[in-house]
Structure 1
Amino acid sequence: MIAAEFAAKLRGRERTVGYWAVLDAPVATERIARLGYDYVAIDGQHGLVGYSGIRDGMMAIDAGGRSAGLVRVEATDLTAIGRSLDAGAAGVIVPLIDTAEDAAAAVHATRYPPRGGRSYGPMRSGLRIGPKPADADAATVVLAMIETPKGLANVEEICATPGLDGVYVGPSDLCLAVGGAFPGDPAVSEVFEDAVATVRKAAEKAGVAAGIHTANGELAARRLAEGYTFASVASDLVHLEQVAAEHLKVAGE
């Protein structure tokens, strides 16, 4: 199954490339999921989707037949994480992880008893991962976002959290965390790059996956060449606007 294969690849620190979706547009998500990305992530934190958008996005990704579906959830919350997984997500990206205890709580939320606290009710996930709890646990990945001053300071302990499959850099918040006045602030580019390297090295030391969000394929390739093991590319909304603007520019010349 795609979820189990993706989990094995991610945990094996094999290079994977994903795409980021923020729009509640299942038809578009399905087309993206047919392109060959290893995963497509639905943004349930900052994206323009509610639960129905997450559910329909997972169905669209499954229909594409080539990608695993991930969800960036709103918070380290047992219910939010469980609902995303029940909707069919192969894993979750959990934001604002400050400590190893936060990371352990995220892991706990993704695992069924006795390993965790996930409530049993695999309405969609049982069709594709389980429904046996042990099978679901084995095929479900959990990734902790490193994007705060505390998270950066505690990154080695976070990476060493039992059951955590990897860490994921949120570059906008990480830039603010290291003193930037705004995301991408060039005044802190050197210290930001040091922070990006710190996260990568901590993940490598712990033997877990290291991921990062990137603006485009070129930057994704650069981060993978540096040693990151997975990278997400831009988002559907960003690309829609960029391509539309470029066509307008060309048409108006």
Structure 2
Amino acid sequence: MTFAEQIRGREKLVGYWVTLDAPPATERIARLGYDYVVLDAQHGLIGYQGLVTGLLAIDAGSALSDREAAGLVRVEANNPTPIGRALDAGATGVIVPLIDTAEDVAAAVRAAKYPPLGVRSFGPLRASLRIDAEPAKANAATVVLAMIETPLGLKNVAEICATPGLDGLYVGPSDLSLALGARYPGDPEVDGPFEEALELIARTAADAGIACGIHTFDGENAQRRLAQGYTFATVSSDLSHLEAIAAAHLDTARS
């Protein structure tokens, strides 16, 4: 079963987030058994060449695992150029940030799909080897996920879910909490409204029959969100884990 089929079938999936342009590290992460690995081209420290080598590393790591990890890209903007380039580089799908309306989603879908479903320019380069060179097959294998992280995105979530061609939602918890009035991500003063928003998003996606994912900061919270009704969850990021483990070893050594 392809990753697109798993997403559209609302299977429970667990992924990982990569912010560093460090292909050997990404390769090691991809062999661990995650269902997908996301390369962050919006806030991560990854340029276009880094996306290409990062996607190559995900494929190489997956070859050493009994579970293939799909390579996804969180693109820098809802624009045909970064969406098309990420897919041309071999991404199985794109996570599109700052979605406010159904019209925003429709634009993202058009950018990710070849005609007649969209306006993606044909020139898949590496994607012709990794996904498929035939436009209809590439369209079927390509996943589009819309980030819900703004006040308008939350308000319009039902209309967003109903947009043809959208495969799922993806919650950005930091920006969503700020949208709800938090002073900083994780502000306990908005815990109540934040949880209500997460429940609304998951329920709305389920009613629409599409996948719903979320970024989490550890495995325990990923497990909690999957139990809550989210169909896929991403665990933390490489840079966060590197810092946390380094600090823990330092504390142990000095104690």
Unaligned runs of 5+ in 1: none
Partner of 2:55: 58
**Which of the numbers 7, 28, 41 marks the counterpart of 1:10?**
7
Deviation, structure 1 residue 153: 0.1
Deviation, structure 1 residue 180: 0.7
* Partners of 1:78 and 1:228 in 2: CA distance: 28
* Partners of 1:56 and 1:250 in 2: CA distance: 35
Matched, 1:227 2:229: yes
> Any idea what the Cα deviations from partners look like across 1:60-116, whole Å, max 9, x if unmatched?
001112200000001110010000000010000000000000011111111001110
TM-score w.r.t. the length of structure 2 is: 0.97
Deviation, structure 1 residue 168: 0.4
SS in structure 1 opposite 2:131? coil
Between 1:4-13 and 1:90-99, the stretch displaced more is 4-13
Partner of 2:89: 87
> Any idea what the Cα deviations from partners look like across 1:119-149, whole Å, max 9, x if unmatched?
0001100002110001110000000000000
SS in structure 2 opposite 1:189? helix
* Partners of 1:129 and 1:54 in 2: CA distance: 16
**Which of the numbers 131, 138, 149 marks the counterpart of 1:136?**
138
> Any idea what the Cα deviations from partners look like across 1:23-66, whole Å, max 9, x if unmatched?
00000000000001000000000000110111110000011122
* Partners of 1:74 and 1:42 in 2: CA distance: 11
**Which of the numbers 178, 181, 196 marks the counterpart of 1:179?**
181
Unaligned runs of 5+ in 2: 63-67
Question: How many percent of aligned residue pairs carry the same amino acid?
Answer: 66
Deviation, structure 1 residue 172: 0.2
TM-score w.r.t. the length of structure 1 is: 0.98
The 5 A counterparts of 1:102-117 are: 102-117=104-119
Report the count of equivalent residues. 250
The 5 A counterparts of 1:160-175 are: 160-175=162-177
Partner of 2:31: 34
SS in structure 1 opposite 2:144? strand
Partner of 1:119: 121
Residue type of the alignment partner of 2:199? A
Runs of 4+ aligned structure 1 residues displaced above 4 Å come to: none
